[in-house]
Amino acid sequence: EPEVTQTPSHQVTQMGQEVILRCVPISNHLYFYWYRQILGQKVEFLVSFYNNEISEKSEIFDDQFSVERPDGSNFTLKIRSTKLEDSAMYFCASSEALDRGNTGELFFGEGSRLTVL
């Protein structure tokens, strides 16, 4: 069964460093998402991406964050200058288009744990 894969599974970085989290969505999916879960808290929406541009972003997704689809397979989340409060599990997800009878269900990766020291 096709799945969303994320790398790295765990990254430790120093405050102020740039971090790139990578995701390979399911190949025929057109919508891509990043979610964040701070330890012990709920899963929060960060951003959705479609047709090579951001379709929606939350207030968490400030100028420190950016997303990119650099080639036909990867979908990346970049944090330019990490802060302690960026420590969290970051989940990537993808979905098919909502039309053509698809359900639009999101399929999640296993997450990348980011620890900022």
The site for another protein (CB under 8 A) is made up of 31, 33, 35, 41-45, 48, 50, 55-56, 89, 91, 93, 95, 98, 103-106, 108-111
Q: How far apart are CA 99 and CA 48, in angstroms?
A: 17
Residue placing its CB nearer to another protein in the complex, 27 or 51: 51
Min CB(115)–another protein separation in Å: 14
Peptide bond between residue 8 and the one before it cis (omega within 30 degrees of 0): yes
Q: How far apart are CA 114 and CA 109, in angstroms?
A: 15
Residue placing its CB nearer to another protein in the complex, 82 or 95: 95
Min CB(68)–another protein separation in Å: 19
Residue placing its CB nearer to another protein in the complex, 9 or 17: 9
Q: Label residue 58 exposed, middle or buried (CB < 10 Å: 0-12, 13-18, 19+).
A: middle
